[in-house]
Structure 1
Amino acid sequence: MAKYLDRYTYRVTWSEEDQEYVGLCAEFQGLSWLEKSPEKALSGIRTLIKECVKDMQENNEPVPEALALKNYSGKFMVRVPPETHRSLAIQAAEAGVSLNRLISSRLQ
């Protein structure tokens, strides 16, 4: 279980509202951990996730898959207003690239 926990997506950021660092885990959106130091915030959220996963396993609940372990096709669809589509198509044509290449370069 420890290796699996290491593959989750952890982040530590400053919370101006709380005046502390907050530890977060992308796979467990509703959980966070506040501490005075970023190192303690990371340690706290990792401990909380470990306890949460253990509880979920004991109750035969599905445990979220780590984002790092998922396979991605590299394709996704985005709906935009027709005016935005037209504007991007014009920009791509003017740049001499495909619409896909233009948008892909902007996402990087």
Structure 2
Amino acid sequence: MAKDIDRYTYRVTWSEEDQEHVGLCAEFPSLSWLAEDPELALKGIRQLVHDCTEDMRQNNETVPEPLASKQFSGKFMVRVPPETHRLLAIEAAESGVSLNRLISSKLHRPRM
């Protein structure tokens, strides 16, 4: 398999509905691979992504850029109800931090 598919974001999770492990790729949300074994689910989705990218190249289609290669600004806008905004502003003031710092800390969750 081509090394470029190694840069994509893969995940294997359990599908209660299918009673199997499902391999997923964030850059190709329409693709999935079911297998009894999690390692086989990962191997299957990687092969499927490889086949898909090869097909896209042959058809002169744009192949998705891996998320790991993208540059992110660290900025995005979120709209909340005015009451939520007010409550967050109060919490930030009472905590002695900026609203931005408070919300950033609430969004950040340590990985397990």
- Percent of aligned pairs with the same amino acid: 74
Deviations 1:52-95 (A, max 9, x none): 00000000000000000000111111111111111100000010
Given the two structures, how large is their TM-score scaled by the length of structure 1?
Answer: 0.98
What residue in structure 1 maps to residue 73 of structure 2? Answer: 73
Deviates further, 42-51 or 79-88: 79-88
The 3-state SS of whatever aligns with 1:50 is helix
Structure 2 unmatched ranges of 5 or more: none
1:107 — aligned with what?
A: 107
Tell me the alpha carbon deviations over residues 17-50 of structure 1, each in whole angstroms, 9 at most, x when there is no partner.
0000000000000000000000000000000000
CA distance in structure 1 between the aligned counterparts of 2:3 and 2:104, rounded to whole angstroms: 33
Per mean C-alpha deviation after superposition, the further-off stretch among 77-86 and 47-56 is 77-86
- What letter is aligned with 1:11? R
Gaps of 5+ in 1: none
Aligned AA (1:96): G
Look up the SS of the partner of 2:73 in the other structure: coil
Match of 2:7 in 1: 7
4+ aligned runs moved over 6 Å, structure 1: none
* Number of residue-to-residue matches in the alignment: 108
In structure 2, C-alpha distance between the alignment counterparts of 1:80 and 1:2, rounded to whole Å: 43
CA shift, 1:4, in A, is: 1.5
Q: RMSD across aligned C-alpha pairs, in angstroms?
A: 0.9
